[in-house]
Amino acid sequence: MGLDAQSAHRDLVDFFKSGTCERFNKNDIVINYGDSFTSAYWIEEGFAKVSTYGCNGDERTYYMNGPGDFLPVVGLIDQTNEKQIFQAVNKLTVYKKTAAQFSEFVLENPLVMVGLMKQTLDLTARIHTLITSPANQRLMCSLRLLAYRYGKPEDGHLVLEISLTQHDIGKLACLSRETAGRMLQVLEDEKAVIVGKRSILVFPEVLNKLMNE
């Protein structure tokens, strides 16, 4: 991160921390389905999943926001709601400003706009993967994205400090719990991931090799 980017990041943190701090427990709703996007949130700690409902009424999780992310990504500027639910995956700490305050801040800080654009591009790439990739690729891409964005390097692997069930991981890849469980077992047998109760270990070299086979 260059000096300009570091300065912009400090300005962003200062901006949000002058707002309201809110804390959520696991499964608490941050923004409900159909609510207007009147506030901008910055995640200090924890994770929030972004979900919607399919045509059959089933919940579909297609993204996850973590520390340092804004939410909602889509709708912060024009305050539209794309029928999404933002829900805490674990204990979540956010700082909140009004959408109008955030829009004004972004216009005055181009590097923050670049960060917002990058997060939007990541979301677009994620949706493209869900639409075009086979099941095993969707699962591996979901784990790799989480690991690269939020994992902490440690002895040749990345540690995701998050508790996800097979059902949670399956929803990220649009898979049933049973299918996700079978695929995760294969990845564990290949020593590409280790899914624990409180964390997930991802071994990037092994996972990337499997994705390229």
Q: What is the CATH number of the domain that holds 166?
A: 1.10.10.10
Statement to judge: residues 180 and 123 lie in one domain: no
Least confident of 49-53, 59-63, 204-208: 59-63
Query: What's the confidence (pLDDT) of residue 111?
Result: 81
Domain co-membership, 117 together with 174: no
Instruction: State residue 55's pLDDT score.
Output: 67
Same domain, 150 and 103: no
10 and 114 housed in the same domain: yes
Domain co-membership, 22 together with 93: yes
Mean pLDDT check: name the lowest of 30-34, 74-78, 147-151.
74-78
Quick one: 40 and 127 in the same domain? yes
Q: What is the per-residue pLDDT across 147-199, written as a single tens digit (0 to 9) for each?
A: 988 999 998 899 999 888 888 888 888 888 999 999 999 999 999 999 998 89
pLDDT at 75 over 70: no
pLDDT at 87: 92
Tell me the pTM: 0.82
4 falls in which pLDDT band (50, 70, 90)? low
Q: Are residues 78 and 17 in the same domain?
A: yes
Most confident stretch, 71-80, 103-112, 120-129? 103-112
Q: 85, 103, 131 — which closes off a domain?
A: 131
Instruction: Say whether both 203 and 100 belong to one domain.
Output: no
Mean pLDDT of the chain: 85
Lowest mean pLDDT among 77-81, 117-121, 137-141: 77-81
Percent of the chain clearing pLDDT 70 (strictly above): 91
What pLDDT sits at residue 77? 59
DSSP secondary structure code for residue 130 in this structure: H
% of the chain with per-residue pLDDT over 90: 39
Instruction: Please give the tally of structural domains in the chain.
Output: 2
Task: Examine the fold and report which residue of 131, 150, 170 is the final residue of a domain before the chain moves on.
Answer: 131
One domain for residues 69 and 11:
yes
| pLDDT, tens only, 106-116 | 888 888 777 77
Q: In this structure, what CATH number is given to the domain that contains residue 42?
A: 2.60.120.10
Comparing 157 with 60, which gets the higher pLDDT? 157
* Strand order across the beta sheet in which 152-154 lies: 152-154, 157-160, 200-202, 193-195
- The residue among 72, 97, 131 that closes a domain is 131
- Looking at the fold, whether 85 and 105 belong to one and the same domain comes out as yes
Q: Tokens representing 195?
A: 């899914």
In a shared domain, residues 117 and 155 = no
Distance CA 24, CA 22 (A): 7
Residues 54 and 29 sit within 8 Å (Cβ to Cβ)? no
Residues of the domain holding 70: 3-131
Q: What is the pLDDT of residue 201?
A: 95
- Is pLDDT at 3 greater than 60 in this prediction? no
Instruction: Give the pLDDT confidence score for residue 80 in this predicted structure.
Output: 60
Same domain, 115 and 144: no
